[in-house]
Amino acid sequence: MIAADRSGSGKTTVTTGILRELARTGQNVAPFKCGPDYIDTLHHSRAAGRPAHNLDTVMLSEDQVREVFRVGAFGADICVAEGVMGFFDGIRPDGFYGSSHHVASVIGMPVVLVMNCASTSYSVAATLRGFQVMSDVPVAGVILNNVASGNHEKLLKEAIRMHTDIPVLGCVPRQGELIGSRHLGIKTAFEVDNRYMDRCADLVCEYIDMNRLKELTVDVVPIEKDVQAQDKVCYVAYDKAFNFYYEANFYELQKRGYSIKKFSPLADERVDGADMVYLGGGYPELYAEELAKCTGFLRSVSDFSESGKPVLAECGGMMALTKGIHTESGFCEMAGIFDAECRMMDKRQALGYVCAFNNDYEGLVGHEFHYSKLENVNENYFFNLEKLTNKKLTQDGFLKGKTYGGYAHFHFMSDPTILDIIMERQHG
């Protein structure tokens, strides 16, 4: 696992570079990401040439996380996971529940820490000692990032050698921004070309000891996907506007007999012939004017919903099923399945894990992260949400027939699962 002392230390750049370098030297590398992040997994998938899986110990049980890891590892020569936030940053301090440390402990994988060394020197050794003492998984190496000079590198290495037994696997000098960012994080893999991936790999090759890194492995017994005969088709929206998905969710759909067919709402592709439609999150607000012109897609998904077949729309997907999206350019009409409107805001409206419940269901854990809000809502909310960290209560989600849309993203392996809630419901 490539983890870090804090967010912004450079672990995504390092992980992307490692994945790309392993792939371009002929390794079949399986990428993973701790936590609920979608954007990093898109970069990992593209860098490795193989789908990345999320390892999330909040939405899933420890056994389920192990299953996701073993399925994701099938056929790979080596597995590389990126941590989330700082190594111990989870939703509770007892056992650091939900953190990179928790995932590493569940899987039993060695950890390499990426340390942001800007504006510090000897104190890095104290930080490393603290991480080492508090961790019940081995801190097998450290990569020093944002190193200012040769002298700075010397000071860092001397302190680490003198006060720890952790090997330094690389020293990366301070870099300019390799990739742009926006309100939900770095730009998605749809918005960068292969030059970014190769620049990350070149950086890794020049400054990190890949041979020593590849020695830090543990044995795992992969398992092949156990899918059923697929006599149904789930159409999955997949383009620049909609691309936030958990890879394991596709696996769960396949286990339920669905084959996956990706389609592009931005190309005005219709959902005719589908047995289920899945509209994931993404950045529909950036393409709202284009989507408003895609009347074939909008009408077909509205007709599909009216037919009583299952539709699941998460965050950005839900926004596309409302009456429209208010952006700086004006109001852009959407499918109008839900009698509500979305408005983009300058400040983040929600971030974190939530527990969704109502009179019939409880204990459904999801994750939300969005900058838009709903207004002019003339629908009944389906779920109450309780934020896991501070117990704040909100409402989310609409259910019409078998069409569900809400801000929270859910994992299909959880218990209960949003799939059963939608599919068991009678149309009406």
- Contact between 213 and 62 (Cβ < 8 Å): no
Residue for token pair 């006599």: 231
Percentages of the chain per state (helix, strand, coil), in multiples of 5: 30, 25, 40
At a CB cut-off of 8 Å and minimum separation 6, what does 103 contact?
1, 34, 55, 57, 65, 81, 83
CA–CA separation, 100 vs 275, rounded Å? 37
Residue for token pair 């009409």: 333
Residue count (the chain): 428
At a CB cut-off of 8 Å and minimum separation 6, what does 258 contact?
230, 232, 233, 234, 275, 276
| CA angle, residues 187, 48, 196, in degrees to nearest 5 | 40
CA-based nearest residue to 374, from 357, 353, 349:
349
- Contact between 248 and 55 (Cβ < 8 Å): no
The DSSP annotation for 315-329 comes to THHHHHHSSEEEETT
* Residue 297 phi, psi (nearest 5): -65, -50
The DSSP annotation for 4-33 comes to ESSTTSSHHHHHHHHHHHHHHTT--EEEEE
CA-based nearest residue to 92, from 83, 82, 102, 84:
102
- Per the residue annotation, which of 34, 200, 294, 315 is the catalytic one? 315
CA–CA separation, 135 vs 87, rounded Å? 9
Residue 342 falls in the annotated catalytic set? no
Catalytic residues: 315
